[in-house]
Amino acid sequence: MSFAIAIGGLALLIVIHEAGHFFVARAVRMRPRRFYLFFPPALWKTTRNGIEYGIGAIPLGGYVKIPGMHRPAAGDLHAHLHHAVQEAPELRRPTDDAAAALDAERYDDARAALGDLRGTLARADVSEPVAHRADKGITDLEDALSADAYWRAAVWKRVAVIFAGPGVNLVFAVALLAVVFALGVPVANTVESVVAGSPAERAGLQPGDRIVEVNGNEITPILTERIPARITGTEARDVAVVVERDGERVALPPTRTEEIDGAYRLGFVLARTEESFGPLESTEYALRETWAITTATGSALARIVTGSGRDEISSPVGIVQVSSESIGIDYRIYLRLLAIISLSLALLNLLPLLPLDGGHIVFSLAEALRGRAIPRVAYERASMIGIFLVLMLFALGLSNDIGRLSG
């Protein structure tokens, strides 16, 4: 059951991400053609009001097919009609006519030529798989030439549609974290006792003090478990602690830790309690937590680039495993983890790489600055690099997950 809930939670995050693209696209008059959970081939699909809804067999995300994500080119036509032209030479002339119109950016002529090509294809003697691929290619190009095509829209509309996916994941993460704070979270940031003669006592730390900052790092209630790690990680260096005492913030003098029981400590004990918060406080702490996770994610990506953080990557396999384990511990831990995954999904998709959402946003803004379209070849090369990097991250994550599962 826990695995089913974990998979359902991950699927929910993908669905709301794609729903963001879907509904904003419809709002700005870009009618989507498909809405899929996971990638094709389809395990199940249905068509309603001209939009195909389905569940794919490849669980690497989901997608909304918006017409004309790229300006149509003759190469698109040749890629789909190549085999059909070989089987039926009479298709060559209408194919060349449509390709020439696309190259010359005579889009009205291209639409008319595609209509002639479709009629010729219907009469041609070609095998069923080749005919199906050719017909699909013509349909895709007709969609790409339609008035509601993505590339024809104003830049602000394109950016709005693309940002809507990660934007929904971001809002969902903040809202879910706020719910967690409202339900109650374990808190361990209040000093229960101070060891006599310890660095903490010399710094003036007192029982009842509430630690709100360690070495410049804000400590929110949901981050209190990191207090010991931030202190022990100093390794005999000064630690600057800020506490809340009698309703006021008090900055204690920087104090050097001492090695106690094999770890560098200040010498105090934290009381562990559970605390819930009102709507405003919950939202405030959720926003702080979101920012903390965002900065931590940025640091993790930097470590991946340098090679030191590759073991921190996980694939959907690891995400489902950890999620199912958290369900068995405390449902609030699972909700917090689901919020973190949602935020991570938003941040990953905002990376400036095609075909990720961030890549489309960057290219749309670049076209606005240039005042003209970016060549199609630039899109294709950037997409190849982006796909390679994304697949590499997935492979590293899957390798890590297999290693953890195998012990």
Domain co-membership, 93 together with 115:
yes
Q: Is residue 241 part of a domain?
A: yes
Q: Is residue 239 part of a domain?
A: yes
Give the model's pLDDT for residue 230: 73
Give the model's pLDDT for residue 404: 66
Q: Is residue 384 part of a domain?
A: yes
What 3-state DSSP class applies to 60?
strand
Give the model's pLDDT for residue 362: 92
Regions of the chain with pLDDT less than 70 = 60, 221-225, 233-236, 305-321, 398, 400-401, 404-407
Instruction: Give the H/E segment covering residue 77.
Output: helix 74-87
Give the span between the Cα atoms of 280 and 294, in whole angstroms. 21
Q: Is residue 132 part of a domain?
A: yes
Query: Which tokens go with 325?
Result: 């384990």
| Residue 2, CA distances (Å) to 5, 16, 172, 325, 372 in order | 5, 21, 21, 8, 51
Domain co-membership, 300 together with 265:
no
Give the model's pLDDT for residue 172: 96
Q: Which domain holds residue 100?
A: 74-144
Domain co-membership, 380 together with 294:
yes
Domain co-membership, 289 together with 391:
yes
Domain boundary among 93, 122, 144: 144
Nearest to 393 by CA among 305, 320, 321, 293: 305
Domain boundary among 114, 144, 174: 144
Give the model's pLDDT for residue 223: 62
Give the model's pLDDT for residue 182: 92
Tens of pLDDT, residues 166-205: 999 999 999 999 999 999 887 878 888 988 888 888 888 8
In the chain, the number of structural domains is 3
Domain co-membership, 271 together with 286:
no
pTM: 0.79
